[in-house]
Amino acid sequence: MSKIKEKFAELEAKNQKALISYIMVGFPNEKATITAVRGLVKGGADIIELGFPFSDPIADGPVIQNASTISLKKGTKISKFFSIVKKIRKETDIPLVLMTYTNILYHKGYSKFISEAKKAGIDGFILPDMSIEESKEYLKAAKSNADTIFLISPNTSNTRIQKIAKVSTGFLYLVAVYGTTGVKTGIKNYTLKAIKNVKKQTKGKTPVCIGFGISTPKDVKKYIKAGADAVIVGSAYLKLIEKTPQNKLESKITTFTKSLKKQTLL
Amino acid sequence: MKYPKNGRFGEFGGKYIPETLVPAIEELEENYLKFKDDKTFKKELDYYLKVYAGRPTPLYYAKNLSEKLGGAKIYLKREDLLHGGAHKINNTLGQALLAKKMKKKRIIAETGAGQHGVATAMACAALGMKAEVYMGYKDTIRQKLNVFRMDMLGCKVYPVYSGSKTLKDAINEAIRDWITNVETTYYLLGSAVGPHPYPVMVRDFQSVIGNEIKSQMKKINRTPDSLIACVGGGSNAIGTFYPLIDSNAEMIGVEAAGKGLKTKLHSATLSAGSKGVLHGMMTYLLQDKEGQITETHSISAGLDYPGVGPEHSYYKDTKRIKYHSATDSEVIDAFLMLTRTEGIIPALESAHAIAEAIKVARKGKKSESIVVTLSGRGDKDVEEVQNYLKRNVKD
Ligand SMILES: Cc1ncc(COP(=O)(O)O)c(C=O)c1O
């Protein structure tokens, strides 16, 4: 069983839903990443998503775009990323998911990238520009090695949800809104409907996690109530990291994480 | 390749897109397939191409230039004479008409040189629609005349400040807009790039260039020995080449070598790039060792792009089409030579094709004929050329 699967099973036994926290590695530097991860673990995050920067992040809004640019400027390279993951792994065995864009894996070679990432301690992948039609090689490379997490949108048809669920392991990433990451539009009726529908379509086989624009404990509460198995919070963390001095970072992240996590206890 | 199965030209192309765009792309393909051979649609499009855009464009024998070079005969396919001043209108009329049939109320586009933005604004005005255009901040400065033109055409222009502030970033921003407004918006992409079906659809709309060349050459009892066109995303080139792809003509796509292929300051994707995934397609890209897209340079904003249409990648690998490049300096020379010998001021993009044609013609026999697609006129570039000449004294 994958670490991610185990985590969801463990939470289910405890009657909890999951909090998945996203940060961009190397934003604004390596030290902040390590410190932020400590805060996330202390605060009770269940899974951590680590962003690896790409020059052209088409699915991301201004906050993550800016974090990508800064991380790249600071010299975040793949080897550096893996070494940071290894450092994190020495401190915690929390499931780690890598979020980046297809070209980063394609360019190095899917197999090579995935096996190196796995060795460093990555448990799964999210590629927002990887559609199931183009995923054959990627799936082959990841097979039994790492979880491949695909996205579903509120406008995805039921037939397609079935197809996506077939190749998605670990969890399904339901995009809350039409839009890029980090843009707050308020909680929409269509999103609540989509949660219910995706749950119904997948019959609870794969956890349905919701992300994009979720930033407050109140948001978390609403989505969990609507039936989501997890909430994913990203841009809100990056904003917090940006405005917090290094010496206060761990405690600030811990406090914020606690406030979010609290809403996932049923 | 007539219609690429699964959107692939060999291994290139495909649709690497965020899930939110999948229904929109499927709807687009469905409608494109429905309308592309529809008699009424074709008739309507032909009408606009003819009486609005000014087709067919002439095939002009550049006698003075050819004689000066003393080799093969150079024929210019005068896309520069089209309404708006570039080949872009062939595609924008096609797609705007399709968008109208699809009952889309909102049109967005990206633009590099501003030519596609202008052509989109014009096509939309003609068809009673409104357009909004994303343009890299750097391009809004060097092509400000086109920003004014779009303004006057009632089109909103959004400068894009992210990344390299050029065409690639304008495309990123247009895609983000599309994801956000997917239910109401038609994305009118300006070159033969992006996720399937854009590359094949744009090629088909631009194929009017090659089809006219074919019949115009036939009329003068000639077959082209060489076809030459500049390659940014590759739409005027694929439109020139594709209808003649089964002929024996040599085909050369010309990329921007900028300050030279040995420097990093160029946009010669096919000549110097490697395979990768960007903007929904698998194709050759300019990228670093880690798969990060690199910044490009060209004196012409319209060629300043680190990717290229997937069909070109396919023809590069199968060797059906050769891809060469021209440096900024060669381009300025070609620009001035065509202007002085023929009284035709080419767009800097098109001057890349002229630079190659000059080389090929010099080596060619008098009995041979070269057809060069003059993709656009150079009014927009006069200031850029003037600045270049001030910085680099040329005679
Ligand atoms: C006059 C002209 N030619 C060529 C191009 C390059 O585009 P493509 O390679 O799609 O023909 C442009 C793009 O802006 C242009 O304005």
**Residue from A6, A30, A46, A49 carrying the catalytic annotation:** A49
CB contact under 8 A, A178 and B20: yes
> Which pair of structure tokens corresponds to residue A257?
């994480």
* Atom in ligand 1 nearest the alpha carbon of residue B80: 1
Asked if residue B85 has its Cβ within 6 Å of ligand 1, the reply is no
Strand order across the B156-160 sheet: B156-160, B130-136, B106-111, B185-187
| pLDDT of A145 strictly over 90 | no
Identify which of A177, A163, A99 has the alpha carbon closest to the alpha carbon of residue A132: A163
Q: How far is the CA of B87 from the centre of ligand 1 (A)?
A: 8
Contact (Cβ atoms closer than 8 angstroms) between residue B78 and residue B59:
yes
> Which pair of structure tokens corresponds to residue A67?
């974090």
* Amino acid present at B16: Y
Using left for φ > 0, alpha for ψ between -120 and 50, and beta otherwise, residue A15 falls in left
List pLDDT tens digits, range A175-233: 999 999 998 888 999 999 999 999 999 998 999 999 999 999 999 999 999 999 999 99
Question: Catalytic residue positions of B?
Answer: 88, 110, 375
Asked if residue B209 has its Cβ within 6 Å of ligand 1, the reply is no
Contact (Cβ atoms closer than 8 angstroms) between residue B192 and residue B238:
yes
Residue with the larger pLDDT of the pair B143 and A132:
A132
The predicted pLDDT at position B142 comes to: 86
Q: Give every residue of chain B whose pLDDT is below 70, as ranges.
A: 394-395
What b-and-e string marks burial along B186-202, b requiring 16 or more CB atoms within 10 Å of the CB?
Answer: bbbbbbbbbbbbbbbbb
The predicted pLDDT at position A223 comes to: 97
> Residue A99 and residue A57: Cα distance in Å, rounded?
11
Active site residue A49: yes
Chain A residues with beta carbon closer than 8 angstroms to that of B177: none
Contact (Cβ atoms closer than 8 angstroms) between residue B255 and residue B352:
yes
> Residue B381 and residue B372: Cα distance in Å, rounded?
19
> Residue A200 and residue A226: Cα distance in Å, rounded?
13
> Residue B292 and residue B209: Cα distance in Å, rounded?
35
> Residue B266 and residue B318: Cα distance in Å, rounded?
24
| Average model confidence (pLDDT) across chain A | 97
- ipTM tops the 0.95 cut: yes
Chain B residues with beta carbon closer than 8 angstroms to that of A99: none
List pLDDT tens digits, range B264-315: 999 999 999 999 999 999 999 999 999 999 999 999 989 999 999 999 999 9
Three-class SS of residue B323? strand
* Amino acid present at B85: G
Q: Residue B243: in which H helix or E strand, if any? A: none
Residue with tokens 């609540």, as numbered in its chain:
A192
> Residue B109 and residue B135: Cα distance in Å, rounded?
9
Identify which of A119, A169, A106, A114 has the alpha carbon closest to the alpha carbon of residue A141: A114
Report the predicted TM-score, pTM, of the whole model to 2 decimal places. 0.97
For chain A, list the domains and their CATH numbers: 3-264 (3.20.20.70)
Asked if residue B136 has its Cβ within 6 Å of ligand 1, the reply is no
List pLDDT tens digits, range A217-256: 999 999 999 999 999 999 999 999 999 999 999 999 999 9
The predicted pLDDT at position B394 comes to: 56
> Which pair of structure tokens corresponds to residue A246?
């290094």
CB-facing half-sphere around the CA of A220: CA atoms within 13 A: 27
Tell me the CA distances in angstroms from A90 to A84, A85, A121, one per residue in order. 10, 9, 10
Residue A71 CB: number of other CB atoms within 10 A?
Answer: 24
